[in-house]
Homo-oligomer: A and B are copies of this chain.
Amino acid sequence: MKYSFKNDYSEGCHPEILKALAESNLIQQGGYGQDAYSQKASGLIRKRCDAPEASVYFVSGGTQANLLVVSAILKSYECVVSASSGHINTNETGAIEYTGHKILSVSSEDGKLTPDSILPVLEAQHNFPHQVKPRMVYISNSTELGTVYTRAELTALHRFCREKGLILFMDGARLGSALTSPANDMTLADIASLNDVFYIGGTKNGALFGEAIVVPNKNILQDFDFHIKQKGAMLAKGRALGVQFMRLFDDNLYFELARHAHRKASEMQVKMEDKGIPFLVAPSSNQLFPVLNMEQIATLENDFEFYIWKKTDDQHAAVRLITSWATPDDAVERFCKIVEKF
């Protein structure tokens, strides 16, 4: 049977999480997030973020988190700035626009935004009230291209947003991967101090489902529970989210799972580099974009599933390989053996 490197959500959840669900299963709890597990998980996250005043909300998935945050914060005529490759701009079926907001997109080679790349977009919006008002900057970490922000980069964005009156929102669907990347120099506390709102992705890092939205400064987002309910995002058994995040942050499980994915990606990366295979984007997380020739791709497809990302010329294409907390050693070994023969 073929092993799939298509994404980091092909399996269920880490066994420890199933175990936590089982252990708490028959203990009665309040509904709609009013359960002891969600409260405990919130406390653990606040502590890890060094943000004792932060609000923490648990929702089911990334698109849901994105549309909730954007629509709850922006007024109807305000818009959000995103890299053109940003998930909200390309792969969420217009979820943000459905809530009424325009996305102003910024071209970006590596999926990251900088003050310099954002500035022209802001400056193009001046014919008020005939143009939308930029009010939020959306970034993802790690990005859709597997790149990660450094502290210097994020600090620059933070300052820029402060200066321009913009909310900085980090999509952390793959924040675990970002914070355990070799290219990373930040902690979760840094993330909390440099963003106005962000979320910690569970779905792509070992949870069955779930993202933890963190709002370090409560003032920017009030009555968020009304929004969650109104958009159909409030689970009756909110405990199912609480238990998962409680387990992920009870010890270092969240980070260990991400590190496993890095290790597996790194083994594959090293092997490919050894064979002189170039990468579309320099690898820094659990997403690899090697540029292979068609024969190599065909050979790998015998044993593995993965996406063809982008043709680079007539004979070559970049493919996307994603590892995860669940990637088994033997799959990577098999992969490396095949590459060895290229």
Contact = CB atoms under 8 A, between A and B. Distances in A.
Interface of A: 3-4, 6-7, 9-13, 15, 18, 21-22, 24-32, 60-68, 71-72, 75-77, 79, 90-95, 97-103, 127-133, 203-204, 208-209, 223, 225-237, 239-240, 326
A232 to B, nearest CB: 3
A91 B232 CA distance: 11
Nearest to A19: B22
A93 B230 contact: yes
Contacts of A132: 93-94, 97
B11 A229 contact: no
Contact of A91 (B28, B127, B226, B227): B127
B3 A95 contact: no
A122 to B, nearest CB: 14
Kindly name the residue among A3, A66, A236 whose own CB sees the greatest number of chain B CB atoms within 10 A. Answer: A236
Contacts of A98: 76-77, 100, 230-231
Nearest to A89: B102
Q: Top 7 A-B pairs ranked by shortest CB distance?
A: A64-B232, A12-B25, A77-B226, A93-B230, A94-B102, A129-B225, A129-B226
Nearest to A23: B12
Contacts of A6: 31
15 contacts: A11-B26, A12-B26, A64-B233, A65-B232, A67-B231, A76-B227, A77-B230, A91-B127, A93-B226, A93-B229, A94-B132, A128-B226, A129-B234, A133-B223, A209-B240
Nearest to A59: B232
A235 B204 CA distance: 11
Contacts of A63: 229, 232, 234
A94 B71 contact: no
Contacts of A131: 90-91, 93
B26 A76 contact: no
Contacts of A228: 129
Contacts of A101: 94, 97
B61 A235 contact: yes
B60 A31 contact: no
Contacts of A4: 28
A12 B203 contact: no
Contacts of A61: 232, 234-236
Contacts of A223: 75, 77, 129, 133
Contacts of A95: 229-232
A295 B228 CA distance: 38
A21 B25 contact: no
A78 to B, nearest CB: 9
Given A91-B131, A98-B76, A3 B28 contact: yes
A98 B230 CA distance: 7
A227 B12 contact: no
Given A77-B230, A230-B76, A232-B64, A22 B28 contact: no
Nearest to A224: B129
B225 A237 contact: no
Given A10-B28, A13-B25, A237-B9, A130 B229 contact: yes
A226 B131 CA distance: 8
A25 B11 CA distance: 6
